[in-house]
Every structure is written in C-alpha cells, then in structure tokens.
Amino acid sequence: MAGKITKDMTFFEVMRMYPAAVAVLQKHNLGCVGCMGAQNESLEQGAMAHGIDPELLLADLNAAVG
C-alpha cells in the first residue's frame, strides 16, 4: 500500500498537512521549519541535497503520520 506522503510533495505541504512530520524531519537533521526552500523543494530533492536516502525519509514520515 502506498503511503500518504509521496516524495514529490514539498516539505511545506507535508508539514502543513501532517504536523507530526516536523519531529521526523528534525530527527533527520532537516531544519525545514525555518527554511525558505521548504515551500518549493520536494522531499526527494531536499533529502538528496542533504545526503539522506529519500526512501528512508519517506518511510519514516509515513510511519509517523500513520
């Protein structure tokens, strides 16, 4: 079953729709809450830019938002 959050969603979109996602992003050392790029950058783009496996990030996010 596909998760609720997809890798093409922006960080801003995910944080707005799923407030619990903020803790997961912080766990991965992503400072998305204060980042201007969060409005336009997809989860996949941001994860790759920070050396994080996008699939791992996506799995953690979807587990957190159930």
Model pTM score: 0.87
Question: What are the angstrom distances between the C-alpha of 66 and each of 2, 39, 62?
Answer: 12, 23, 6
Provide the pLDDT for residue 7: 94
Cβ within 8 Å of residue 58, ≥6 positions away = 3, 5, 6, 7, 43
Provide the pLDDT for residue 1: 42
CATH number of 11-65: 1.10.3910.10
Q: Each residue of 8-63: pLDDT tens digit? A: 999 999 999 999 999 999 999 887 777 777 788 999 999 998 999 999 999 999 99
List the chain domain ranges: 11-65
Tell me the HSE value of 41 on the side-chain side, using a 13 A CA sphere.
Answer: 18
Question: What are the angstrom distances between the C-alpha of 48 and each of 1, 24, 66?
Answer: 24, 16, 24
How many Å apart are CA 63 and CA 58, to the nearest integer? 9
Provide the pLDDT for residue 3: 65
Place 2 in a pLDDT band, splitting at 50, 70 and 90. Answer: low
